[in-house]
Structure 1
Amino acid sequence: MNVITFNLYVVRHGQTYFNIYNRLQGWSNSPLTDKGIAGAEKTADKLANTHFAAAYCSDTTRAMHTAKIILDGNKADSVKEPTISNYLREEFYGYYEGNDMDQTWYVAGAPHGLPTFKDIVTKYSIGKAKDFLKEADPFHQAESNEEYWKRWDQGLDLIRNDKNIHDGDNVLLISHGNAVLSLVERFGEGKYDVTERPANGSLTKMEVSDNQVKITDYNVQ
């Protein structure tokens, strides 16, 4: 069987109201702001002449809205609609969905002497931050690192198994801040700073094959 390699253009969704309010929005949602719509349109302009053989996004409205803006602005005869999958959602923050981001990471990290998300990631990893949050969740429903990757690996396999994607093709994926960071931590070979979140509308590029993923660009604005 021939192994194909394709280019995955991973775009973080446009700015939302929860982004402004510094609130966690994993499986919860808030609409794109006017700035978020304008930012998505700017990204659409940059990608207008890139042909996408397939497009994917999570089933959150912020991702679907961003995908529509980018695909509607495409002039390269790309696919018109994204494939929508809950496998591609942001991390689930459980009890802390919608909470202030800094307060939540304090609750998760402070028992370990690490009061900020950056502190946790610097000493351990984004994966450990997920595990600390699950531990802090009184319902223990926030996703652990293992649970998160079990879901996301299904999402990556969904894309890999798309019969419309051929060797050398470009594929669009509208994603989320922590999801992008998690991909870059796992596949970036330590070359990128994952203590800082990617900007809304930014582009991260990956080369994906059946058995390998390589980050080639991160947080391009």
Structure 2
Amino acid sequence: MLSARLFLVRHGQSTYNAQARLQGQADPPLSDAGRAEAQRLKPALPPFDEGRVVTSDLKRARETAELLGYPGARLDARFREINAGAWAGRSLSDFPSGSETAWRGGALKAPDGESWEELQARVGGALDELIAAGGTWLVVCHGGVVRAALSHVTGADPQRVAGPANASLTVFKAQSPPQVEAYGWVPALSVG
């Protein structure tokens, strides 16, 4: 019998991802490519009881959960992306490289945005609740949330961790302390 695990899936590509725009808690839908990415990931996941599937309440995560076969997933706003405040929707090219922005784990944030520490506390608390509840869970969320979860579990510096790809899978063994089994895994494209 396998021990309990947390499966974190980053949503498929959104229209903002395709346009290289900062999302934060803006609510764009999946792009056509993002829907295809979610469909490609679906067969790689084990089956879950729908009561053990949680998703961010943002559209791109909800759509991904639906495409994975879980239209009734429980919504949990704690698994939302970092709040980028007034910066949401801006082109990523508007920000200087190396500016250590909050969504990359740095200190720079919009005046009305959320700090990395706030994001990590929010995500860490939600993860700890799932682990305490026991069993295996599927969480459909966002790149910043996956990085915050990894940092919460391992203590890794988020600025030294690459963001996970769209429609990627991160797996933690749900024990005390949790243990990383996979980070940002993406199924191979079929050739032919």
Q: Answer yes or no: same fold by TM over 0.5.
A: yes
* TM superposition shift of 1:175: 1.3
Question: Compared with structure 1, are the counterparts of its residues 69 and 194 closer, same or farther at alpha carbon in structure 2 (3 Å cutoff)?
Answer: farther
Counterpart residue number, 1:56: 54
CA shift digits 1:5-34 (9 cap, x unpaired):
620111110111100111111111111111
* TM superposition shift of 1:197: 2.1
Aligned partners of 2:159 and 2:115: how far apart in 1?
A: 22
* TM superposition shift of 1:157: 3.8
* TM superposition shift of 1:190: 4.5
Q: Match for 2:77 among 72, 83, 86?
A: 86
> Alignment length, in residue pairs?
181
Any stretches of 5+ residues in structure 2 without a counterpart?
A: 187-192
Any stretches of 5+ residues in structure 1 without a counterpart?
A: 73-79, 107-114
Indicate if the aligned counterparts of 2:10 and 2:141 stay in contact, CA closer than 8 A: yes
Aligned partners of 2:112 and 2:157: how far apart in 1?
A: 32
* TM superposition shift of 1:159: 2.2
Indicate if the aligned counterparts of 1:126 and 1:185 stay in contact, CA closer than 8 A: no
1:217 aligned to 2:182?
yes
Q: Match for 1:132 among 96, 108, 128?
A: 108
* TM superposition shift of 1:82: 1.4
Question: Structure 2: which amino acid aligns with 1:181?
Answer: R
1:141 aligned to 2:120?
no
Aligned partners of 2:104 and 2:159: how far apart in 1?
A: 11
Q: Match for 2:88 among 82, 97, 108?
A: 97
Aligned partners of 2:153 and 2:34: how far apart in 1?
A: 28
What do you get for the CA RMSD once the two structures are aligned?
2.6
Question: Compared with structure 1, are the counterparts of its residues 195 and 187 closer, same or farther at alpha carbon in structure 2 (3 Å cutoff)?
Answer: same
1:116 aligned to 2:112?
no
* TM superposition shift of 1:182: 2.2
Q: Match for 1:179 among 145, 148, 165?
A: 145
TM-score, with normalisation over the residues of structure 2?
0.82
TM-score, with normalisation over the residues of structure 1?
0.72
Counterpart residue number, 1:111: none
Aligned partners of 2:120 and 2:158: how far apart in 1?
A: 20
Question: Structure 2: which amino acid aligns with 1:89?
Answer: R
Identity %: 27
Aligned partners of 1:51 and 1:41: how far apart in 2?
A: 14
Indicate if the aligned counterparts of 1:91 and 1:143 stay in contact, CA closer than 8 A: yes
